[in-house]
Each structure stands twice: as C-alpha cells, then as structure tokens.
Chains A and B, each alone.
Chain A
C-alpha cells in the first residue's frame, strides 16, 4: 500500500469526522469555560494551588508572630512558653528566607506563563513544559523544606524547654545526654528522610513517566542537529 492511498483514506475519513463533530461558536465557548482534564491545565492548577498554600502558610506564620497572643490563643499560653531569643532570631531568619523563596518562585512562574505554547516551536514548547515540571518539583520541595523548618524550630524549642523544666535529683551524665540527644536526632532524621522520600516517590509516580516521554521527544527532535 502506497502513502498516496493512505493519504486518500485519511482525507476521506477526516472530512467525514469533521462534518459529524462540527461545533458551533456557542458550544466552543462553553468548552472554554469548562474545567479541563488535560495535563497542562492540571499542572497549572496544581502550581497555582501550591502558591496559594505557601502564601497562606506564610500569612499564618506572620499572624502568629505579629498578632497579640490573646487574639489567636489564650495569652497565658504565650506567657508560659517563654521563647529564648536565639530561637526567635532563628524563626525570623527562616521566615525571611521563605518570603524571598516564595517571591522568586512566583516571579519565575509568571515569566514562564507569559511564554504560551504558540510563541515557540515544538522543541521550545517541550522545553517550556519540562521547565514547568521542574518548577512544580521545586515547589514540592519548597513545601517540604517549610514543613521541615517548622518541625526543626519546634523540635529545638521543645528540646530546650523540656530540658530546662526537668528537675532531676542528680545531674544526668554526659553519656546519657549524648545518647538521648543522638536518639532524638536519628528520629528527626528518619522523619525528614521519610517525608522527602514520600514526596520524591509521589512526584515520580505522578509525573515521572510523562517527564521521560517529553525528554524522549526532545531528544528525537535534537537527534539530527547533533
């Protein structure tokens, strides 16, 4: 069978399909308003959801720092929990880093959004989606880092206050302190490691295959130029 025969069969079949499935302007407009199930739209929605999540998390942290204690929770809680200066400084340092990271992330994402699929050829379009995926991955990890920072500061505060509150009849030996501290650090490490692993696996499960397909297509396009 020759390609010309294929061509004739194709043209006949598609002419009939187009005639059968033709939509009017109103139906096309309706489709534009509907939520798309396409991977590009879903990816875009996920990234935007992530940005809102980060902003909300930051606003809550800010509210916790700046609002009067009795506005968010009973004032006695804060009075009872005297946070050492070095932990407050650490907390603010983490917050400033977070604000900067979120801002950089939003600027980068907006810039990426400005390049629509029509402004570039196929190679550029694939590269754009790969960058979008990597941006999403970074956002994923940023969320983990935020979570870890929160856990880390909380852990330090808990450990310090806990140690101060213990009234022991005799001072514990250095070995006991080292053993307990090491065990706690190992536990914290395991927790952080597990969360990172779950996020990493989750991302690969959702987008790993898709990312590989895009890389394969990109390699196919670049094959000749190399």
Chain B
C-alpha cells in the first residue's frame, strides 16, 4: 500500500506545493506544512475509496490541513515579512510585467482569509464550481457568492495600490 501511496503522491505532489505556497509566506513554514499534509494524506490513504478523483481528494486533505494547521502569531508575522523578500528572489527569472503581476498577486492573497485562500487557489487552478464545492464542502451557490466577494476584495486592493 505504501508503494502505491508514494507513487500517487510523487505524481501529484504539485498540489501540496501549491497549497503550501498559498498558505505560507516563508520557506520554513512551507516545508513544515508540506510535511504535515503528507502525514495527513498517509493517515487517510486507506480511507480513499476512489469515489472522487485522486487529485480532488488530495486538494481536500491539503486544504483541510492548511486551514486547521494554521497558527498565526507574532513570530510568524515577522517571518512573513522576510518571506516576501525570498519570494522576490525566487521569481526573479520572470519578465518585469509577470513579476509585477506575481508580486501583486502575492500581496493580494495575503489580504484574504484562510477560507478565501482555498477558494481562490482552486479558481486559479481552473477548478469548476462543482469541484470547488466538493473540496470545501460549501454549496456551489455560496462558492459563487464567496468568489464575487474575493474578486471585489482583490479589485479594491489593486485599485488602492494605484494600478489598473
């Protein structure tokens, strides 16, 4: 069973990296969250019944872990500031416009709540509302309501930064 698990996770590990990236601002926290998600996936693996896609199941466990594993304190906030610098260095391979968009996106995402982050992540990953609803456990109707609020929040943030 473990070999199966390792093979599936190795193939789909991008999901964990993306969740860790959206929920954590610095490399240490991302590594910790990555490991915690792996542990939770392994603990739950025998319960995976293939009623949903493996990736949907992985998103569900990863987001559940990220939200319930989140403990924001003064130490984390200090680290977050440092994390922004690391983020800039990591992405310096992009062209100026992309880097600008990316930095803006990163800053905008930090304004969102944990629940909003999960919805925007799935939206950015091109998941349909039906799948977002399945992963988060909230109705499709509410996903739409939340998505509209997030869009407004992001628009407001971009405008307040003086960029359109």
Q: Which A residues are closer than 8 A to B by beta carbons?
A: 1, 3, 5-14, 16-18, 21-25, 28-29, 31-32, 34, 36-41, 116-126, 128-129, 209-210, 213-214, 216-217, 220-221, 224-225
Cβ of B43 within 8 Å of any chain A Cβ, yes or no, is yes
Which residues of the partner chain B approach A121 to less than 8 Å between Cβ atoms? 60, 135-138
Kindly report which residue of chain B lies nearest to residue A21, judged by CB atoms.
Answer: B17
Q: State the 4 A-B residue pairs at the shortest beta-carbon distance, nearest first.
A: A121-B137, A38-B36, A118-B44, A125-B64
Cβ of B83 within 8 Å of any chain A Cβ, yes or no, is no
Q: How far is the CA of A172 from the CA of B122 in the complex (A)?
A: 79
> Cβ of B98 and Cβ of A9 under 8 Å apart?
yes
Q: How far is the CA of A116 from the CA of B60 in the complex (A)?
A: 12
The total number of A-B Cβ pairs within 8 Å is 173
Q: Which of A13, A214, A216, A220 contacts B102 (CB 8 A)?
A: A13
Q: How far is the CA of A6 from the CA of B136 in the complex (A)?
A: 22
> B interface, by DSSP: helix, strand, loop or mixed?
helix
> Cβ of B6 and Cβ of A29 under 8 Å apart?
yes
> Cβ of B90 and Cβ of A17 under 8 Å apart?
yes
Q: How far is the CA of A6 from the CA of B158 in the complex (A)?
A: 11
Q: How far is the CA of A14 from the CA of B19 in the complex (A)?
A: 10
Kindly report which residue of chain B lies nearest to residue A119, judged by CB atoms.
Answer: B47
Q: How far is the CA of A14 from the CA of B72 in the complex (A)?
A: 24
Cβ of B1 within 8 Å of any chain A Cβ, yes or no, is no
Task: Determine how close the nearest CB of chain B comes to the CB of A194; give it in whole angstroms.
Answer: 26
> Cβ of A23 and Cβ of B118 under 8 Å apart?
no
Q: How far is the CA of A122 from the CA of B133 in the complex (A)?
A: 10
> Cβ of B139 and Cβ of A9 under 8 Å apart?
no
Q: How far is the CA of A37 from the CA of B154 in the complex (A)?
A: 32
B81-121 CB mask vs A (1 if < 8 Å, else 0) is: 00000000011011000100110110010000111001000
Q: Which of B18, B39, B73, B118 contacts A18 (CB 8 A)?
A: B18
Can you spell out 7 A-B residue pairs with CB atoms less than 8 angstroms apart?
Answer: A6-B108, A25-B10, A117-B40, A117-B64, A122-B115, A129-B68, A221-B137
Task: Determine how close the nearest CB of chain A comes to the CB of B28; give it in whole angstroms.
Answer: 9
> Cβ of B38 and Cβ of A31 under 8 Å apart?
yes
Cβ of B7 within 8 Å of any chain A Cβ, yes or no, is yes
